[in-house]
Amino acid sequence: MPKNNFIRVVRELARSFQEFESFSAGHIRTLGLTPSQFDIVATLGNTNGMNFRELGEKTLITKGTLTGVVDRLEAKNLVRRVASPNDGRSHTVQLTSGGEALFSRIFPAHVKHIGQAFVTFSQEDLDSLEASLHRLRMALTEASAKLKAPESPAP
């Protein structure tokens, strides 16, 4: 374990994520959506749709929650389920024309809203922050893979 104090970094990362979520969710609610609904609309925007597995992986919304959120978006006529021609049990979730119009209106507005938090950062700051977060994600991915790897038999 490193001698430097990484707990402070973890704490700041968690606090930053919580603050980001709060800042983002507050704006999303003014658009008439929940954060999960926005996540699905934003993920489906500019695509031909995705099956539930892909949508769950891209949004990180659990399967049970995802079904309910898609149901509510479908009730608002923002998404539709299209049966897979290859597998009768599988469906693709697509934005309706109303969902596409909503995406075109709210996604740029939300990007602009989030951008307000970054106005004091130079491009160098942003590049450095991105590189550091990437390194952290790769280290966590590697550590996770090591935990999942089967142990080598003792000689």
Asked if residue 57 is part of any domain, the answer here is yes
pLDDT at site 21: 95
pLDDT at site 155: 56
Q: How many domains does the chain have?
A: 1
Asked if residue 20 is part of any domain, the answer here is yes
Q: CA-to-CA distance for 72 and 86, rounded, in angstroms?
A: 26
Asked if residue 155 is part of any domain, the answer here is no
Q: In 3D, which of 101, 39, 29 has the Cα closest to residue 65?
A: 39
Tokens of 142: 């590697």
Q: CA-to-CA distance for 87 and 110, rounded, in angstroms?
A: 36
Q: What is the pTM of this model?
A: 0.83
Asked if residue 151 is part of any domain, the answer here is no
| 3 compared with 14, residue with greater pLDDT | 14
Asked if residue 29 is part of any domain, the answer here is yes
Neighbours of 35 (CB within 10 A): 16
Q: CA-to-CA distance for 72 and 40, rounded, in angstroms?
A: 11
Asked if residue 116 is part of any domain, the answer here is yes
Whether 97 and 36 have beta carbons less than 8 Å apart is answered as: no
CATH code, 121: 1.10.10.10
**Mean pLDDT, rounded, of the chain:** 92
Mean pLDDT of 18-47: 96
Mean pLDDT of 118-147: 96
70 CB-near residues (< 8 Å, 6+ apart): 40, 52, 55, 79, 81, 93
pLDDT at site 1: 53
Asked if residue 114 is part of any domain, the answer here is yes
pLDDT at site 154: 57
pLDDT at site 136: 95
Mean pLDDT of 115-136: 97
pLDDT tens string 44-77:
999 999 999 999 999 989 888 999 999 999 999 9
89 CB-near residues (< 8 Å, 6+ apart): none
Q: Which residue range(s) make up the domain with 72?
A: 6-139
Whether 50 and 40 have beta carbons less than 8 Å apart is answered as: no
Asked if residue 150 is part of any domain, the answer here is no
